[in-house]
Structure formats: C-alpha cells, structure tokens
A and B are shown apart, each in its own frame.
Chain A
Amino acid sequence: MAPIITEPSHLVNPLASIAQLETSASQIDGVPRDLEASIRYETGRLNQAAGILLRLPQEIIAQSIVILQRFWTGPDGASMLKHDSKDVAAAALYLTAKPSGHCLTPRQLLTVFAFLDSLDGNYAEAASSKGTPTSQWSLSENDYEAQRERLYANEALILRTLGFQAHVALPYSLCINYLQTLDAFAGPDGSSLAKRAFAHLNSALLSPQRLYLTHQPCALVTASIYLAAREVGSCLPEVEWWEVFDVEREELGFLVVALRSMEGFAEEERRAWGRSRVPMTVGELRVAIADAHGWTAGE
C-alpha cells in the first residue's frame, strides 16, 4: 500500500469532500450555479487586485483566495445570500495578512476595497502601476466605522465556518523545487518556463473548478510545469516524470485540461458581464436572481 499522509502541512491542504462539492449553502438558498461561479471568480479577482495595491506578497493573496473559496463551499459553508461577498473577500484578505509579517490596518484595507468598488470590475488596470488610488481618495469616517465593524464580524465568521482551518499550503516554492529537480534552470528558457508555470498556478486560484480545493499542491505544480513546458517549448523527460512528484497520469491530464480552460472561462466571464457589475452584495444578488427569473418567465 502506498504511504498516506493525513495531516495538513506545508505540503498538504485539507480538500473539499464530495458532499461539500455537490452543493453549497448559496445554491440551497437559490443562487444559480453559474452566478455563484461568477461571484467566486469576481471576489478572487477583487482580492488579487486589492492585494497588489496593498503591496502584499502573492502568498498572502493566494491564501486569502483559497480561504474565500473554502468559505463558500459545501452545505455547511456560507451563503452569498446571507453575507455580502465583497465584504467577506476583504475579511479573508485581512485575516490571512494578520498573522504574517504584513499586517494591515483596517483603514488601509477598507480604503483600497472602497476604491476598487468604484471601478466596476476593471481591476486589472487599477492593479497595474498606472491606476494607483490618488491621495484625495478617501473613505468617510462614518463609512469606515461601519465597515470596520462588518470586517471584524466577517473575520470571525470565516474562522468559525472553516473550523479555524485557515491553513493553506501553497505551491510556489514547491514549483521552484520541482523545476530544480528537473534541471529546468540549466537551459536558457528556464526562467520563462518558471514564469509561465507560476502564471498557471495564479490563474488556477480563480478556476471555477476550485482546483485548490480538489487537488494537492504537488499535483497543481506538476500540471502547471507540464503545460508551461509545452507552451514555452522546452523539453522534459520522456519517461513518466510526474510520478516522481506523486502525481498519476490521469490526474495530470485532468489538471492540464482545467488549466488550459482558464483563458476561455475568463473570456466568457468578461463577455457575459460586459459593462455590468457582478453582484457582490446580498442586495445586488437578490436583484440579479429576480431579474434572471423575470427574464425566463417573460420568455
């Protein structure tokens, strides 16, 4: 029998059970599956942009996105019709930054989230160097206090919902380690290979298949290296090298397909929402669901 590792560690994440993947509290409350996926995707993008603006390292941003996904997952998870998803996203980032060496003040965090909220989803621009918030952009004192209360409440809510399992094992250092094992940095395209692999790992955070909740970091890394090597055109061993990293061919194949589908999914999301906002509060979500029903009924 193969050895089994059962404790979460720097290499191992708790994964979602089948029951947790089957349905979610949001779906039970009547949120359509695709709308739920859109909101998950949007809150992930929101945290990525906010993290960049707050100059947080990618590790913390990635952890917050994984925690956010765990929070929405399963019938015991939280419902998007009970909690404002953008507030929860902010709390997830606040929570993951807190025990690290990059602690945020609530004011920094809430200001950045308020700024991003004013952009109607064009986060990419804001997160690039051009669109940093200007100094005259600020949050009113009343808004700040109310939001801070909600931030604290949501932080505690996330912890309780996850049973304080806020531990996230990340794939980044493992990726470097695997690339070194494959001697990838010996060749001239080693660094472009690594960059591409990292890019896949970052996009996988936003995958509608919740790859970080269904696969261990070693599998994610192996798949991202496999795909990146194809794209960059660098050669990998002809034997089943992924087995060295404890990944089966089947899992590798599944993950490579999932990673490749990310671009199409992102395009599809952009087209579907166009200029309109993804509903990120309970109120907006109610309206969106009612609209969807009205539209189908009217047809």
Chain B
Amino acid sequence: MSSRWADAAEDAEEDARRKAEKEGKRRLKAEKQRKAEEAQRAAAAEPQLNGHARSGEDTDRPAKRRRLSQDEAQDEPIADEPERQLLRFQPPPWQPCRSISRFDLLNHIEEGSYGFVSRAREVATGEVVAVKKLKLDPARDAGFPVTALREIQCLYAAKSHRHIVDLREVVCGEGESPGDTYLVMEFLEHDLKTLQEEMEEPFLPSEIKTLLLQLGSAVAFLHDHWILHRDLKTSNILLNNRGEIKLADFGMARFVGDPPPANLTQLVVTLWYRAPELLLGTKEYDGSIDVWSIGCIFGELLTKQPLLQGKNEVEQLSKIFELCGIPTEDSWPGFKRLRNARSLRLPPASNASQGSIIRSKFSTLTNAGAGLLNSLLSLNPTGRPTAQGILDHAYFREDPRPKPTAMFPTFPSKAGQEKRRRHASPNAPARGAAPGLQGEVDFSSIFKGREEEEKGGGFALRLV
C-alpha cells in the first residue's frame, strides 16, 4: 500500500511493537512510582537497589516485577487519557506607526552615518528612552535603506534576549514630515568604547568575564536565530549602571541560512574587528566572523586599547599576522585560494618565531584565558569556537569568578547629559564595491626584530 499509515502486515507488526513499547513505558512509570514510595519508606536502607534499577533491565528481580503488574492495572486509566495540551500562539496584531509627538526629545547623544541618536522622554510614562532618527534618502538608498530594514527585522526577532537592546517600537514623524522614521529603544547610560576611554584602569578580570559571558550569550542567541551581527565592536555594546550590557546597532546584521548564502558581501565589520577571511575576500562565511570580533573585544577589554588598529586593509592584515602568526596550508587549509590571498607574499614557513604571540602579549592572563583568546583569534575560521562554545570555556569557571552584575561599579554617564565624544575608531564599511588589497602585498618583513622582543613578563600583580 501507499503510505506508512496504510494497513498492511508490517503495520500489524508495528502495532504489536508499539503496544509492547507502551507496555514497557507504563511499567517503567509504575516502577518509578513504586521506587518513589519505597524511597519514602526506607530512605536510608535502599541506595544499592536504586542504583541497580537505574540500569533498566533488572532481570534478577522477578519478584519485584510480578508485583509491578498489579500496580500497572491500577494506573492504566490515568496513564492512557492525559489531558491534551496544544500550543497556543497569540502574538499581538500589527498596528500603524504611532507618532513621535508622544516623546519629548531631551538631548542629543551622537550622530552616525545611519542617523541621529537622542535621549527622549515618553510623555505618558515619563520613561527615558533612546530615539534614533534614521537618515533617509530614497534616491541614494533606492527607497527605504536596506540596513535599516534589516536592523528593525533583526531587533524585533531578537527582542526577547536580555542582552540585546530592546527595540520598543518604530514611530514616524508628524505634520510636515510624516516620512521621518525613529527607532525607539531602551536607554542605556554608556557604551563600552566611551566608558573605557574615561576609565583610568581597565576592567578587572572578574568584570571582563561577566561582560564576555553576557556578550557571548547575546551572540549565541543571535546565531541560534540565524542572525549574523557583522559589526561587533565596543562602541556597539551598551552598558547600564547595573553592569548589564546590551548589544546594539544591527545595521550590518542579516538573516542567513545553513548552508550560508553564497555571495555575502565581505565589506562588513569595522576594520579593527574584521576577521582575516573577510580581509582576504571570502564571500562565504558564518558566525565565526562574529566570534573573531568577540576575540578583538576580549583583547580590548584586557588592555583598554583596541587590539588591532590597522589604518587600512593591508595594515590590518599585517597586524593580525603579527599577533596571530602567519597562516600555513596546515593551520588554515585553503586560505591561499581566497581572492585577495593571491597577491600576498608571506615570509617563508617553518620559522618558529612566526607563531602566535598572544600568550606572551597578555602575560597576566591565565592559561585558560590565553587559550580562549587564542582560539577566538584563530586565523582559520573553523578553528574558532561557536558563541555557545565560548560560554562553556574553562576560563569562566576558574578564579576570579565572573563578578555579579549587581556588584559592578557605576560610572558617570556621558550619554546622559552631554554629547558623547566622537569616536576615534573607524566606522563600519559603507555598501559598495569591496576594494581588493591593492597591488603586491609584502608581509615578509613583519617579524623583523621579533627575536629581540621580550617574551612575556616575569611577574605581574593580579587584580581580582
């Protein structure tokens, strides 16, 4: 017959098998119940019996089994007709954009290529929010900018995560400019970039762990929901006065599938946080580019300085190779076939001094910490952990433990009152043709003098 659900000889067999299976399950259940009762009766005396029963088939206890079948008869009516619970879906309906007039604009926070961010107060509730007015230019962007569309889509999709900034609603202008579009988001006092510039000392190791765990959980959530952020950097990580970070600015983000779509643009991620495979011109990439950025952020949190500050693509790549070593066919199979790798001239392989210097550069870091940073900054994308994998790393389980967010220090807010200082860091790339690496690129001399450098500090005080 035609389907698995048609009646046939095998079906009878299948039925019998299923019946037996059901029987078995029922028996197990009854046994469990019996064990619970027994455990109650004689909690102390029975540990070896429980241990035994857990192995499933306890063939050497026929007496117990026979008694079970009596219990089973009593259980039957309850076990067979459980109340059926169907999943219900009740998402809210849509409604037209409401008006910006429900908000009083307070002060300007910053301006980017995407728009202006201001602090605002909702008139009805008195609540303070951040309002981002989009810069719209239909002629330039071919209609509504695709970056804003993706940002709104991704933020709505990731709304429920506590470490992703909450997009409350999108409102529009009124009166003469009904086409103005504003994103209303929760307001956070700081961004990590500005905050670090103001701080005298870098974050403590325990604080860095908390920040990284929060960031890792946000990125893991995004990847789990098929979103790549594609512009992770400290200025896109907001921090409130309760030690909680929220990931913001999804202008570069997009939905992907598995396998990832071919022909993604490699012009993503702000240069200093851009993974080597992007610099080498790959068009197929996945969450590992976000993981590279997390590695850069980790390094930046440790030293209070952006880790790899290249002035252009070529310099960025050379800084990466200086820190992480030169890729080889062994460590990164196939990298030579990437578009921009053909013009690279790398120093001859098999030189011991060409490995990663992460261990010696971050001498105060524990072995586990250096191991994590090393894997995050693995040149080969497949060598990097997943965002979920970061959370399980041993580094977070060793002392000092991650600091509870409630114990975080508070800082005076830059965004609260005055204009945030213009960041010295470069912006995410604009859309358009990706410039290849220009001309012949010679990296053969980047390791000159490496031997003379100090190999790590001897002692350092560890702050906890």
Q: Do these two chains interact?
A: yes
Q: Main SS of the interface on chain B?
A: loop
B88 touches A2 (CB 8 A): yes
CB-defined contacts of B121 to chain A, threshold 8 Å: none
Give Cα A70 to B157, complex, Å. 19
Q: How many residues of B contact A (CB 8 A)?
A: 47
A2 touches B87 (CB 8 A): yes
A164 within 8 A of B: yes
CB-defined contacts of A235 to chain B, threshold 8 Å: 1-7
In the complex, chain B residues 90-108 whose Cβ is within 8 Å of any chain A Cβ: 90-98
Nearest CB of chain A from residue B460's CB, rounded to whole Å: 47
B85 touches A105 (CB 8 A): no
B61 within 8 A of A: no
B311 within 8 A of A: no
Nearest CB of chain B from residue A167's CB, rounded to whole Å: 6
In the complex, chain A residues 1-41 whose Cβ is within 8 Å of any chain B Cβ: 2-17, 20
Query: Could you give, for residues 61-93 of chain B, a 1 whenever the CB lies within 8 Å of some chain A CB and a 0 otherwise?
Result: 000000000000000000000001111111111
B153 touches A166 (CB 8 A): yes
Knowing A76-B95, A152-B143, say if A9 contacts B157 (CB, 8 Å).
yes
A291 within 8 A of B: no
A274 within 8 A of B: no
Knowing A15-B93, A76-B95, A186-B3, say if A5 contacts B152 (CB, 8 Å).
no
Name the residue in B144, B172, B261 with the highest tally of chain A Cβ atoms < 10 Å from its Cβ.
B144
**Which chain A residue has the least Cβ–Cβ distance from B154?**
A99
Query: Could you give, for residues 237-260 of chain A, a 1 whenever the CB lies within 8 Å of some chain B CB and a 0 otherwise?
Result: 110000100111000000000000
Q: Main SS of the interface on chain A?
A: loop
Nearest CB of chain A from residue B167's CB, rounded to whole Å: 9
CB-defined contacts of A188 to chain B, threshold 8 Å: 2
B95 touches A184 (CB 8 A): no
Give Cα A105 to B143, complex, Å. 10
Give Cα A9 to B93, complex, Å. 13
CB-defined contacts of A238 to chain B, threshold 8 Å: 5
B143 touches A151 (CB 8 A): yes
Knowing A101-B261, A236-B3, say if A14 contacts B152 (CB, 8 Å).
no
A106 touches B88 (CB 8 A): no
CB-defined contacts of A243 to chain B, threshold 8 Å: 84, 86
B159 within 8 A of A: yes
Name the residue in B88, B255, B261 with the highest tally of chain A Cβ atoms < 10 Å from its Cβ.
B88
A-B contact pairs, 30 of them (CB 8 A): A2-B85, A3-B88, A4-B88, A5-B89, A5-B90, A15-B93, A76-B96, A99-B146, A99-B149, A99-B255, A151-B143, A152-B144, A155-B144, A159-B97, A159-B181, A160-B97, A163-B96, A164-B156, A165-B94, A183-B5, A187-B1, A189-B2, A189-B3, A218-B89, A234-B2, A235-B2, A235-B5, A238-B5, A246-B88, A247-B86
Residues of A that sit less than 8 Å from B by CB? 2-17, 20, 70, 76, 94-95, 98-99, 101, 103, 105-106, 151-152, 155-156, 159-167, 182-184, 186-190, 216, 218, 233-238, 243, 246-248
